[in-house]
Amino acid sequence: MGNQDPENQCLCRANMAEEASELLGELANTERLMIIALLHELGEMHVNEMVETLGANRASLSRHLGRLRDQLMVTTRRKHNRIYYALNLPKAAGLIKIIGTLMAPKGREINDSKAE
């Protein structure tokens, strides 16, 4: 935290609470949370890679990716006929790291090489 003013970091400020609520709302879905965590851990991926890795339904995954894209949490890059997705929001990556640390079994650490 250093020398930053603690009041500027308080969720009791309406603008911060609103932004945090929106971010948490988008991640309050198992599939979207898994997508963000996967992109945080592995970096840019094609939809087929995500379907295979997550064992998800392609239509459902595409719908959630569209929502995350609309919320600017992921970006896309087209190469030939494929679309690749990447995490776009450092705050989401930071939150995924914190959640992973809190939820990891005792004695295991998450890979944080891709943090922010």
Note whether 67 and 22 are within 8 A (CB).
no
Residue 110 lies inside a defined structural domain of this protein: no
Looking at this protein, which amino acid is placed at residue 62?
A: S
Q: Which residues pair with 83 in a beta bridge?
A: 78
Residue 60 lies inside a defined structural domain of this protein: yes
> What pTM was computed for the model?
0.73
Residue 69 lies inside a defined structural domain of this protein: yes
Residue 25 lies inside a defined structural domain of this protein: yes
Return the minimum-mean-pLDDT range out of 5-14, 47-56, 96-105.
5-14
Please give the residue range of the domain that contains residue 46.
14-101
pLDDT value of residue 7: 53
Q: The domain spanning residue 73 has which CATH number?
A: 1.10.10.10
d(CA 30, CA 102): 16
pLDDT value of residue 113: 47
pLDDT value of residue 97: 84
3-state helix, strand, coil in the chain (%, to 5): 55, 10, 30
Residue 112 lies inside a defined structural domain of this protein: no
Residue 7 lies inside a defined structural domain of this protein: no
Residue 97 lies inside a defined structural domain of this protein: yes
Number of domains in the chain: 1
Quick: pLDDT tens for 68-115: 999 889 999 999 999 999 998 888 878 888 888 888 887 655 554 444
Residue 70 lies inside a defined structural domain of this protein: yes
